[in-house]
Chain A
Amino acid sequence: MDGLVPAIHVFLSRFPGDATASSDLRPLEVDPTPAGVYPSPMPRFYFDDLTLGRAFPLPPHAVTREEIIAFAREFDPQPFHLGDGGNGLSDGLTASGWHTCAIFMRALCDGLLLDSACLGSPGIDFLRWLRPVRPGDTLAATATVIETRLSKSRPDRGIVRFRHDVVNQGSEPVLVMENPILFLARPAP
């Protein structure tokens, strides 16, 4: 694939609960860290670690019919996301594109962000829904660093632009996007 560099990184999965569990351990006195500094004790990935070309394979997700319908009932109740009638361009039940985004985001959290000094994201440069997602599909994503830029005005942080690719169990692309994410730089020792 264009622009993708093979991953040299050994992926270490983490449970999503790990990142929030630290809140129980925080001291009660006022935290002296300035606003904007991520409070996590020693996240694994800072801006400095997210180097150009580094690729993060994210944990896969199996999509169920029940999950497709539940997401659609709340956020995208179009008939082709609730039942088997199709939409004139695809047959049968298909997931809301926003559901596919949500599945991707959870994978990005579990595979990278929850163990990082992430400060949030200003947006998505572009996103393409390339193929329908159906019940029984298993989605797997890779987040690849395509640009990094340390902030000139605030050198304690930088923007990392990713290309995110989501494929189904047949390795067919279902979603691609480019997305800048803000991370703290690794604090000086």
Chain B
Amino acid sequence: MSTAFERITIGVPRIIGAHTFTAGEIKRFASAWDPQRFHMDEAEAEASSFGALAASGWHTASAMMRLLVDTFARDAAEALARGEKPVVHGPSPGFEALKWSRPVFAGDTITYTATVTAKRLSKSRPGWGIVTTDIAGTNQKGEAVFAMTAQAFARTDGG
């Protein structure tokens, strides 16, 4: 029987979920972590290069992470229901080519898609592999607003 790591599928885009960014939530994130005026105040944002209240790019990325973690949890529950061991996810060493290609405005709904593009065994950490995933975020008009290529560890001997 194949292991959970072996069952990770390459090249198939999956929608991991959608998130609507409310004005209140944008300001709350910004007031804690990114209090630039175009993330904090509608009038200031209208006078800025953004033209309207826009989410911090780190908020756009963090909201994606929440949907990814929820997807991992659903995948694990479904694997267990099939009598398979779930993928055991580890930390991430980092990412490349993160693009905030358009602002995320208050009221926008961003749909995130994840596509595993590669997986390999870790040379330095026996029992672990590294999965490369392209993540894309699109607003309700179909415009690309977010992209990144992320790496993450996953167990190779977990089942």
A1–B147 Cα gap in the complex (Å)? 30
Which of the candidate stretches A4-12, A74-82, A141-149 sits at the interface with the other chain? A74-82
Contacts of B37 in A (CB 8 A): 19-20, 23, 39-40
Contact A126 B96 (CB under 8 A): yes
A76 touches B66 (CB 8 A): yes
Q: Are B97 and A20 in contact (CB under 8 A)?
A: no
Given contacts A19-B35, A89-B128, A121-B100, contact A129 B65 (CB under 8 A): no
Q: How far is the CA of A75 from the CA of B56 in the complex (A)?
A: 14
B residues 93-130 in Cβ contact with A at 8 Å: 93-101, 103, 125, 128
Q: Using Cβ atoms and an 8 Å threshold, which residues of chain A touch B148?
A: 124
Q: Does A123 contact B (CB under 8 A)?
A: yes
Interface of B: prevailing SS: mixed
Q: Is A87 an interface residue (CB 8 A)?
A: yes
Q: How far does the alpha carbon of A122 sit from the alpha carbon of B148 in the complex, in Å?
A: 12
B58 contacts A105, C-beta separation under 8 Å: yes
Query: Which of B35, B40, B97, B128 sits near A123, CB closer than 8 Å?
Result: B97
A interface, by DSSP: helix, strand, loop or mixed? Answer: mixed
Question: Does B79 sit within 8 A of A, measured CB to CB?
Answer: no
Quick check: A76 and B65 within 8 Å, CB to CB? yes
A101–B92 Cα gap in the complex (Å)?
Answer: 13
For B32, the chain A residues whose CB sits under 8 A away are 102, 106
Partner of B90, one of A89, A114, A120: A89
- For this complex, into which size category does the number of interface residues on chain B fall? 35 or more
- For residue A122, which residues in chain B have a CB less than 8 angstroms away from its CB? 99-101
In the complex, what residue of chain A is closest to B56 when comparing beta carbons?
A105
Given the known interface contacts A101-B58, A105-B58, A126-B96, the answer about A74 and B90 at a Cβ–Cβ threshold of 8 Å is no
Q: B57: which of A33, A106, A121 is its contact (CB, 8 Å)?
A: A121
List CB contacts (< 8 Å) of A60-90 with chain B.
74-78, 80, 87-90
Instruction: Find the residue from B57, B66, B91 having the highest chain A CB count within 10 A.
Output: B91
* A151→B12 CA distance, assembly (Å): 38
* CA gap between A16 and B30 in the complex, in Å: 11
Q: Measuring CB to CB, which residues of chain B are less than 8 angstroms from any residue of chain A?
A: 32-38, 40-41, 43-44, 47-51, 56-58, 61-63, 65-66, 69, 72, 88-101, 103, 125, 128, 148, 153, 155
17 contacts between A and B (CB under 8 A): A20-B40, A20-B41, A23-B37, A39-B37, A74-B62, A75-B62, A75-B65, A75-B66, A89-B90, A89-B91, A101-B61, A102-B62, A120-B57, A122-B99, A123-B101, A125-B96, A132-B91
**20 more A-B residue pairs beyond the given contacts A38-B49, A75-B65, A88-B155, with a C-beta to C-beta distance below 8 A:** A20-B40, A26-B43, A35-B49, A37-B49, A38-B48, A39-B37, A40-B37, A77-B66, A88-B90, A89-B128, A97-B92, A98-B58, A119-B48, A122-B101, A123-B97, A124-B95, A127-B95, A128-B93, A129-B93, A182-B49
